[in-house]
C-alpha cells in the first residue's frame, strides 16, 4: 500500500451534506462529506481532541462535527468550533489531515499523500467518458477478500482467462503468448500491453454475436499507479469495451473496487443490465481465485514464485512498485500492524508541508534506502 | 506441532479420482487426490507460479490442475504442463512438495516431513485390525476446538474419568495398581478400576460385559496418536485408536477407530458408537474451555500430581522430538501469516535443490 496516489473513496451518491460517511482505506479510517456548496471533502476520521470518530458525527454549517464533544472541523481540516472554549478561536494545532479531492465519473477520489500539486500523479482519467459512440454502465462497487496487489496483478495477466473464465467465451491460449514474451510498454506512471488473438472465439451468449472476438484484433490491459487498472476488450474494430478498475485497499487483506465499464457498441440503455450482469459473473470468477491465493500478500521477491514470460506485465507492475518503494512511499505494514490499537496514525496531507504542529503521527513508511537495497525482481 | 510424523489426512472414502480435496493441517493447506490408478497423493496446496490453491482446481490425467493458469502437477509434485509456455518441459524448479502416503484402517495418512524412509516412525499400528474375533467400527471424525496436545493429554489422564464421565459408570481408579509402559515411540499406563456400575449403561444388556476385573490403559504413539484399551472384564476388550490431526494451533480433527472383541449382537455398532460419541462430547466440553489454549511450556505454570505421570512422560518425549529440531515455531509462523507461503519440507528436498516455497520455521534445540 502506497501513499501519494489517488484513491477512490466513495460513490458520489453516498457523499452527502447532511451526514458524514466513514470509509476504511489502507488500514485507517476517513470521513467524507459535502459542504454547503456541495464540494466533497475527505479528512482523517480521528478527532485530535480525544479520539472521537468524526464519521460517526454529523454535518453542520459545512463542517463535520465530532459526536464526542462537538468539535467542528471544516473541509480544510481546521477546527472551527470547540464548544467548551469561551472565545470562539480554536488553537492552530486543532486540525486534522484534509486531502485533495477530485470528483469525476460518479466517484469521489482523494489524493492520500503530501506531495505538492505539481508533483502528484495525474488524477484518474477515462478518455472515453462522454465521447460520442461510447456509453458508461452505472458505477459498480464490489469488495474482495484479497490484497489489492493480487487483484491488480490478476488484471494484468493475459494467461488466466481460459482457466478462470471458460464459460465467458474467453479465448483459447493465445499462441503468441506461448511463443514470445509479452510486449509491455511503459506509459506515464504505469505500463500496458496488447495481445493479438489469432482465432475467432465465440463471445459469451449473454452478449450475443457482437461480442464474438474476431481474429487479428487486440486486447490487453494496463495500470496507472499502484491501484488503477484498465482492460481493453476489443471484440472487433468497432465492438469495444474499456473497463476501468479503481482499487481502494481497505486493509492488508481486503480491497474495494470501483468499476466503470465503457462500451462502444450495444449503446442502447436496455443493454446496461445484462452487460453489468456478465461483468459481475466474470468478476466473481476472479474473486473466487483471488480469495484463495497463498500468501495473501504477493511475495516480496520473485524467487518465491516461478514466473514465466506470460507474466511479463505482472513483472513490469512490480518494477513500477519498486520505483515507488525507492521513493519511500510504501506503507510499513508490519509496524502498522504492531501498533494497531496503540497509535492513531495518519497519512500526511499536503498541508503538513506548509504548517507544523500536527497532532497525529504519520503512518510508518518503509525507508527508501532500505527499500533500495532490496531487489523485488530477481535478476536472470 | 511437529514435522516428521504421520498425520491422518482424510478417510479413504473421501479421496477420489474426480476432484482434489483440500485439507488444513499444522496451519498449512494441503491438496489430496488419487491418480487414474487410484493411488493417493498429498501435496502442498500452493501453486508455485502465482499462489493459486491447487485444491480449488480439478484433476486432469491423474494430475492436479491449478484453477488459475492450468499448471498441472503430478503426484510426485513435479509440474508436467505450463499452458502459456511453448516448451513441453516445465523447468525443474516448477515443483511442489509431495509427501509419502499410506492407507491403513480406512484412513489416508501422510508423512509430513523430510526424513528418509528408514528413519521415519511407523504409522501407529492397530494390531487387532482384520484379526479374527475383532470388529472395527466405522471411522468417526471429531472436530474439536482445542490444541491437539490438550486432547492427547486428556487421553493419557486416568483421573478425569470419574469426574468427566460419571454417567458412563466410571468408578475411581485404584492408584496402587498403576503400571507404566514405555515403547519406541511413546509411553503409557495400565491401571485397575473399582467395579463399574454398568447398570446405568447400555452395556449392561450384554452377557459378555458382566463386571469382573475392570482395567484400562492408555498410551501414545508419536505426538498425535493415542490408544485406549478397556477391559470390561477379563476377556472383553475394547481398544480405541485416536489419530489426531492438528488443523492449526487451536483446532484438532480426530479420526477415531474403535476395535472390540465382544458385543457382536445386531445393532451394537450403533449403540457403541453412540456411547463413544457421548463420552467424547464430555471430553470436548472440558477441552474447549481449557486455558491457556496451548499447554504451558513449563511445568511451573501448572501443579502436577503423581497421577499426571504419563502426561509428564508425554511432554518429555515431545522434548526429545523438539531436540531433534522437529517442533514448528508457531510464533514465527504467525508473524509471517499472509506474507509468506510456507510448506513442510518433503523428503525430496534432501535430494534436489531449487525449491520455491520456504519451509516452516522450526525451533532450534534448547531455544
Q: Taking the domains of chain A in order of start, what are their residue ranges?
A: 5-117, 135-317
Chain B residues in contact with A294 (beta carbon < 8 A): 29, 45-46, 51, 53, 341
Residue B35 vs residues B9, B64, B98, B205: alpha-carbon distances, Å = 16, 9, 14, 47
B183 band by pLDDT with thresholds 50, 70 and 90 = confident
A44 or B205: whose pLDDT is higher? A44
CB contact under 8 A, B84 and A153: no
Instruction: Say if residue B199's pLDDT is above 80.
Output: no
What pLDDT is stored for residue A173 in this prediction?
64
Q: Does B49 lie at the interface with A, CB-CB under 8 angstroms? A: yes
- How far apart CA B106 and CA B27 sit, in angstroms, is 24
- Mean pLDDT, to the nearest integer, of B87-109? 94
What is the mean pLDDT, run by run of 10 residues, along chain A of 380 residues? 98 97 98 98 97 97 96 97 86 96 98 98 96 96 98 95 79 70 94 79 60 68 98 86 97 98 95 93 96 95 91 96 96 94 97 96 93 71
Average pLDDT over residues B168-181: 80
Residues of A in contact with B80 (CB under 8 A): none
pLDDT at residue B198 is higher than 80: no
Distance CA A150, CA B272 (A): 51
Instruction: Provide CB contacts within 8 A for B270, sequence distance 6+.
Output: none
* Cβ pairs bridging A and B (under 8 Å): 96
**Between B29 and B177, where is the model more confident?**
B29
What is the mean predicted confidence (pLDDT) over B295-307?
88
CA dihedral over A32, A34, A38, A42, signed as positive or negative: negative
pLDDT value for A212 = 60
The verdict on whether omega for the bond into residue B292 sits within 30 degrees of 0, i.e. cis, is: yes
Shortest alpha-carbon distance between residue A255 and chain B (Å): 15
- pLDDT at residue number A380: 42
B33, B39 Cβ separation under 8 angstroms: no
Angstrom distance (rounded) from CA B111 to CA B4: 6
Contact A178 B29 (CB under 8 A): no
In this prediction the ipTM stands at 0.89
Summarised one tens digit per residue, pLDDT across range B10-39 is 999 999 999 999 999 999 999 999 999 999
Task: Say how far apart CA B244 and CA B242 lie, in whole Å.
Answer: 6
Q: How far apart are CA B279 and CA B262, in angstroms?
A: 19
Site from A253, A292, A334 to mutate, B interface, most B CB atoms within 10 angstroms:
A292
Contact between A307 and B86 using a beta-carbon 8 Å cutoff: no
Total residue count of chain A as it appears in this document: 380
Chain B residues closer than 8 Å to A304 by CB: 340-341, 356-358
Q: Distance (Å) from the C-alpha of residue A303 to the closest C-alpha of chain B?
A: 7
pLDDT at B71 over 50: yes
Which of the residues B53, B57, B69 would you substitute to probe the A interface, choosing the one with the greatest number of A C-beta atoms within 10 Å?
A: B69
Identify each DSSP E strand in B5-106 by its residue range: 5-11, 21-25, 28-34, 40-44, 58-60, 63-65, 72-73, 79-81, 98-99, 101-104
CATH of A135-317, one of 3.90.380.10, 3.40.50.300, 3.30.910.20, 3.50.50.60: 3.90.380.10
Q: Across the interface, do A304 and B94 touch by the CB < 8 Å criterion? A: no
Residue A361 CA to residue A46 CA, distance in Å, equals 12
How far, rounded to the nearest angstrom, does the alpha carbon of residue A230 sit from its chain's CA centroid?
11
The DSSP letter of residue B26 is T
Write the CA distances from A297 to A151, B111, B351, integer angstroms: 10, 29, 30
User: Do the Cβ atoms of B341 and A294 come within 8 Å?
Assistant: yes
Grid coordinates of B238: 475394547
pLDDT reported for residue B193: 80
Residues in chain B: 367
The band of B197, judged by pLDDT with boundaries at 50, 70 and 90, is low
Contact: A295, B340; criterion CB under 8 Å:
yes
Pick from A163, A179, A292: CB nearest B69: A163
A179 chain-B contacts, CB cut-off 8 A: 86
Higher pLDDT, B203 or A14: A14
Query: What's the CATH number of domain A5-117, 1.10.10.10, 1.10.1040.10, 3.40.50.300, 2.102.10.10?
Result: 2.102.10.10
Residues of chain B above pLDDT 70, percent = 94
pTM given for the model: 0.92
Chain B residues whose CB is inside 8 A of the A297 CB are 338-339
Q: Within 10 A of A266 (CB to CB), how many other CB atoms are there?
A: 18
In order of their start, the domains of chain B are 5-119 (2.102.10.10), 135-318 (3.90.380.10)
Q: How confident is the model at residue B153 (pLDDT cuts 50, 70, 90)?
A: very high
Secondary element (H or E) of residue B331? helix B330-335
pLDDT at A44: 98
Amino acid at each position: 500500500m502506497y501513499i501519494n496516489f489517488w484513491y477512490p473513496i466513495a460513490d458520489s451518491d453516498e457523499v452527502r451534506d447532511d451526514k458524514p460517511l466513514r470509509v476504511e482505506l489502507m488500514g485507517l479510517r476517513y470521513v467524507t462529506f459535502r459542504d454547503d456548496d456541495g464540494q466533497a471533502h475527505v479528512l482523517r476520521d480521528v478527532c485530535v481532541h480525544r479520539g472521537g470518530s468524526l464519521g460517526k458525527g454529523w454535518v453542520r454549517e459545512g463542517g463535520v462535527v465530532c459526536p464526542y464533544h462537538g468539535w467542528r472541523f471544516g473541509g480544510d481540516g481546521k477546527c472551527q468550533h470547540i464548544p467548551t472554549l469561551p472565545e470562539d478561536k480554536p488553537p492552530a494545532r486543532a486540525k486534522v489531515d484534509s486531502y485533495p479531492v477530485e470528483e469525476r465519473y460518479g466517484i469521489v477520489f482523494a489524493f492520500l499523500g503530501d506531495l505538492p500539486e505539481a508533483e502528484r500523479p495525474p488524477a484518474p482519467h477515462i478518455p472515453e467518458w462522454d465521447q460520442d459512440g461510447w456509453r458508461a454502465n452505472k458505477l459498480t462497487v464490489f469488495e474482495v477478500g484479497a490484497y489489492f496487489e493480487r487483484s491488480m496483478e490478476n488484471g494484468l495477466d493475459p494467461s488466466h482467462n481460459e482457466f478462470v473464465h471458460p464459460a465467458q467465451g474467453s479465448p483459447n491460449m493465445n499462441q503468441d503468448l506461448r511463443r514470445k514474451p509479452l510486449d509491455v510498454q511503459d506509459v506515464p506512471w504505469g505500463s500496458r500491453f496488447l495481445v493479438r488473438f489469432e482465432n475467432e472465439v465465440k463471445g459469451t451468449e449473454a452478449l450475443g454475436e457482437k461480442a464474438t472476438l474476431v481474429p487479428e484484433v487486440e486486447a490487453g490491459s494496463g495500470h496507472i499507479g499502484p491501484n488503477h487498472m484498465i482492460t481493453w476488450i476489443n471484440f472487433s474494430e468497432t465492438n469495444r469495451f474499456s473497463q476501468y478498475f479503481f482499487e481502494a485497499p481497505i486493509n492488508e487483506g481486503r480491497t474495494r473496487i470501483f468499476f466503470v465499464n465503457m462500451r462502444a457498441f450495444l449503446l442502447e440503455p436496455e443493454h446496461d443490465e445484462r452487460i453489468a450482469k456478465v461483468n459481475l459473473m466474470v468478476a466473481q470468477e476472479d474473486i473466487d481465485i483471488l480469495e484463495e491465493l497463498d500468501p495473501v500478500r504477493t511475495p516480496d521477491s520473485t524467487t518465491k514464485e516461478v514466473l514465466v514470460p506470460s507474466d511479463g506485465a505482472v513483472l513490469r507492475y512490480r518494477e513500477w512498485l519498486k520505483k515507488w518503494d525507492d521513493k519511500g512511499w510504501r506503507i510499513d505494514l508490519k509496524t502498522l500492524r504492531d501498533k494497531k490499537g496503540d497509535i492513531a496514525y495518519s497519512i500526511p496531507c499536503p498541508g503538513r508541508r506548509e504548517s507544523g504542529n500536527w497532532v497525529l503521527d504519520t503512518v510508518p513508511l518503509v525507508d527508501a534506502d532500505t527499500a533500495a537495497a532490496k531487489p523485488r525482481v530477481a535478476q536472470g | 506441532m511437529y514435522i516428521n510424523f504421520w498425520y491422518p489426512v482424510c478417510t479413504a472414502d473421501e479421496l477420489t479420482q474426480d476432484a482434489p480435496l483440500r485439507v488444513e493441517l499444522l496451519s498449512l493447506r494441503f491438496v489430496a487426490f488419487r491418480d487414474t490408478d487410484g493411488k493417493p497423493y498429498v501435496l502442498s496446496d500452493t501453486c508455485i507460479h502465482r499462489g493459486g490453491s491447487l485444491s480449488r482446481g480439478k484433476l486432469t490425467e491423474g494430475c492436479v490442475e491449478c484453477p488459475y493458469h492450468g499448471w498441472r502437477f503430478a503426484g510426485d509434485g513435479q509440474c508436467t504442463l505450463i499452458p502459456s509456455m511453448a516448451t513441453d518441459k516445465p523447468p525443474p524448479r516448477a515443483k511442489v512438495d509431495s509427501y509419502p502416503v499410506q492407507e491403513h484402517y480406512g484412513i489416508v495418512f501422510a508423512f509430513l516431513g523430510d526424513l528418509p524412509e528408514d528413519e521415519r516412525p511407523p504409522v501407529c499400528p492397530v494390531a487387532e485390525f482384520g484379526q479374527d474375533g475383532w470388529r472395527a467400527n466405522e471411522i468417526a471424525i471429531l472436530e474439536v476446538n482445542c490444541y491437539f496436545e490438550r486432547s492427547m493429554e486428556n487421553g493419557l489422564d486416568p483421573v478425569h474419568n470419574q469426574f468427566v464421565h460419571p454417567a458412563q459408570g466410571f468408578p475411581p481408579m485404584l492408584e496402587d495398581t498403576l503400571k507404566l509402559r514405555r515403547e519406541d515411540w511413546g509411553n503409557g499406563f495400565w491401571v485397575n478400576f473399582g467395579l463399574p456400575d454398568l447398570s446405568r449403561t447400555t452395556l449392561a444388556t450384554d452377557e459378555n460385559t458382566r463386571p469382573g476385573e475392570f482395567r484400562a490403559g492408555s498410551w501414545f504413539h508419536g505426538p498425535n496418536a493415542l490408544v485406549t484399551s478397556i477391559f470390561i472384564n477379563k476377556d472383553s476388550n475394547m481398544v480405541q485408536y485416536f489419530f489426531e490431526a492438528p488443523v492449526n494451533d487451536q483446532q484438532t480433527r480426530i479420526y477415531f477407530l474403535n476395535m472390540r472383541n465382544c458385543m457382536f449382537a445386531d445393532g451394537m455398532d450403533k449403540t457403541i458408537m453412540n456411547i463413544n460419541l457421548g463420552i467424547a462430547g464430555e471430553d470436548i466440553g472440558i477441552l474447549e474451555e481449557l486455558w491457556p489454549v496451548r499447554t504451558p511450556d513449563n511445568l511451573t505454570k501448572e501443579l502436577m500430581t503423581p497421577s499426571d505421570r504419563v502426561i509428564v512422560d508425554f511432554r518429555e518425549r515431545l522434548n526429545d522430538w523438539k531436540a531433534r529440531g522437529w517442533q514448528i515455531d508457531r510464533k514465527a509462523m504467525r508473524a509471517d501469516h499472509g506474507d509468506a507461503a510456507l510448506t513442510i519440507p518433503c523428503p525430496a528436498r534432501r535430494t534436489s535443490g531449487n525449491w520455491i516455497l520456504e519451509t516452516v520455521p522450526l525451533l532450534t534445540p534448547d531455544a
